[in-house]
Amino acid sequence: MTRSPLLRALAGEALDTPPIWLMRQAGRYLPEYRAIRAKAGGFVDLCLSPELAAEVTLQPIRRYGFDAAILFSDILMVPWGLGRSLRFDEGRGPILEPIVERSEIPVFDPDSFHAALAPVYETVSRVRAGLGPETALIGFAGAPWTVASYMVEGGSSRDFATLKLWAYRDPEGFGVLMDTLVDATVGYLDRQIQAGAQVVKLFDSWAGAAPEVLFERGVVRPTAAIVQRLAALHPTIPVIGFARGAGAQTRAYGSATGVTALALDSGIPLAMACALQAERPVQGNLDPMALVAGGDALAMEVDRILEALAGGPFIFNLGHGIVPQTPPEHVAALVARVRG
Ligand code: CP3
């Protein structure tokens, strides 16, 4: 059996045409997504409806022929599976009941957790059944630091004051929260892999908010534990690590966690991306706004990235999620240019 281009790149191969997929490739920029979203009721309901979630996962594959599908779900389904309340309000983003003290840290009970998230695992197997062998299926979870930020702050945050103060003032309690999220994340990804995910990605969207010592305690250590435990369960499944905003700490993040590949945000200069690529495959890092702009600006950025990175193991992607105002035809132009 020949492996899909995504799996080949993750195994260290430099392909003539790099595989391409986009973060948030299923989403509000697509009219067919908005139609299903309107029919599903709430966003959490959509994540828990295997038929609809599988359909929106497959929509961008049908439209653009991306090399990978990513499970349609959300990083906040882990707190939800741990029994925390979760809702998404129009224009406000996610809202959770914040954890304010150590006694409120949920206990990871695998039975109730997996029972609650069974619809997600069913989505994974439905999607896998709907894909050809050339298209890889990516499962994912939020990394503990980023998921904890939403659990502790009660939603999105500007300065992560509550999370950081907790980590500084009560290192032991913070450690309990990290350990709980490591256990839940390993269990969650293990089930996704059993259901048909061939690659997993850890989204640490707020890694850049952690200064050196907290980066070690909140980002590197929990991620390394997840990578190690997953490798023991599934030695051949690649892990893509996305420590967004990690900048100068990105290289240490790669070597200390043992992730298979690094997803790079748009702030990583291409010279640095090349140096990182000497150690492991890289993915990224087109600015989502260049995709909104389209035209010559988009073409120039795409060519610059290809010139720097396509000679090594590389996966074309954005540096962060596609934004809702992106014209769908710009995505088609991007795919055509990368496949040139
Ligand atoms: O990439 C994909 O196509 C797969 C699906 C996916 C979603 N969220 C769907 C989603 C993935 C991989 C995520 C990850 C996620 N969720 C992250 C990490 C990546 C990143 O963007 O940094 C984070 C931080 C979240 C938390 C989250 N989910 C926020 C802050 C929001 C609100 C902001 C927004 O864009 O509306 C969400 C909602 C969300 N998750 C939407 C989608 C398509 C939009 C909700 C809607 O359709 O109403």
Q: What is the CATH number of the domain that holds 244?
A: 3.20.20.210
Which atom of ligand 1 lies at the shortest distance from residue 46's CA?
47
Asked whether the predicted pLDDT for residue 1 surpasses 80, the reply is no
Q: Is 28 in the active site?
A: yes
Instruction: Tell me, using a 6 A CB cutoff, whether residue 317 lines ligand 1.
Output: no
> In which band, very low, low, confident or very high, does the pLDDT at 213 lie, cut at 50, 70 and 90?
very high
Residue identifier of the C-alpha nearest atom 11 of ligand 1: 74
Domain that holds residue 100: 5-339
Instruction: Tell me, using a 6 A CB cutoff, whether residue 37 lines ligand 1.
Output: yes
Q: β-strand 314-318 against 282-286: which pairing, if any?
A: parallel
Instruction: Tell me, using a 6 A CB cutoff, whether residue 156 lines ligand 1.
Output: yes
Instruction: Tell me, using a 6 A CB cutoff, whether residue 242 lines ligand 1.
Output: no
pLDDT, one tens digit per residue, over 146-157 is: 999 999 999 999
Q: Is 307 exposed, middle or buried (0-12, 13-18, 19+ CB in 10 A)?
A: exposed
Specify the pLDDT at position 19: 98
Specify the pLDDT at position 90: 84
CA distances from 9 to 66, 111, 228 (A): 14, 36, 21
Share of the chain above pLDDT 90, in %: 98
Greatest alpha-carbon pair distance for the chain in Å reads: 56
Share of the chain above pLDDT 70, in %: 99
Residue identifier of the C-alpha nearest atom 25 of ligand 1: 75
Q: Is 74 in the active site?
A: yes
Specify the pLDDT at position 2: 67
Among candidate residues 58, 42, 213, the one with its CA nearest the CA of residue 124: 58
Mean pLDDT confidence for 206-222? 98
Mean pLDDT confidence for 294-320? 98
89 Cβ neighbours under 8 A, 6+ residues apart: 95
Q: How far is the CA of 24 from the centre of ligand 1 (A)?
A: 7
* Marked catalytic residue, from 28, 229, 251, 337: 28
Specify the pLDDT at position 91: 83
Asked whether the predicted pLDDT for residue 92 surpasses 90, the reply is no
pLDDT, one tens digit per residue, over 226-247 is: 999 999 999 999 999 999 999 9
Both tokens of 260, joined, read 């298979």
The residue to mutate among 75, 123, 147, 153, having the most atoms of ligand 1 within 8 angstroms of its beta carbon, is 75
Mean pLDDT confidence for 294-317? 98
Residue 323 carries which side chain, given as an amino acid letter? V
Average pLDDT over the chain, rounded to an integer:
97
CA distances from 202 to 149, 259, 321 (A): 15, 9, 14
Q: How far is the CA of 1 from the centre of ligand 1 (A)?
A: 34
Instruction: Tell me, using a 6 A CB cutoff, whether residue 72 lines ligand 1.
Output: yes
Torsion over CA of 17, 23, 26 and 27, rounded to 10 degrees?
Answer: -140
SS (H, E, C) 101-137: CHHHCCCCCHHHHHHHHHHHHHHHHHHHHHCCCCCEE
> In which band, very low, low, confident or very high, does the pLDDT at 160 lie, cut at 50, 70 and 90?
very high
Q: Is 253 in the active site?
A: no
Domain count, the chain: 1
Specify the pLDDT at position 54: 98
Specify the pLDDT at position 243: 98
pLDDT, one tens digit per residue, over 16-74 is: 999 999 999 999 999 999 999 999 989 999 999 999 999 999 999 999 999 999 999 99
Contact between residue 138 and residue 197 where contact means Cβ atoms under 8 Å apart:
yes
Mean pLDDT confidence for 186-208? 98
Alpha helices in the chain (DSSP H): 5-10, 31-40, 43-47, 50-64, 77-81, 110-130, 144-153, 161-169, 171-195, 212-214, 221-233, 250-257, 270-277, 288-293, 295-309, 328-339
pLDDT, one tens digit per residue, over 104-146 is: 999 999 999 999 999 999 999 999 999 999 999 999 999 999 9
Asked whether the predicted pLDDT for residue 179 surpasses 70, the reply is yes
Residue identifier of the C-alpha nearest atom 32 of ligand 1: 93
Specify the pLDDT at position 321: 98
* Marked catalytic residue, from 8, 29, 74, 253: 74
Contact between residue 201 and residue 242 where contact means Cβ atoms under 8 Å apart:
yes
- Predicted TM-score of the model (pTM): 0.97
Both tokens of 251, joined, read 């290289």
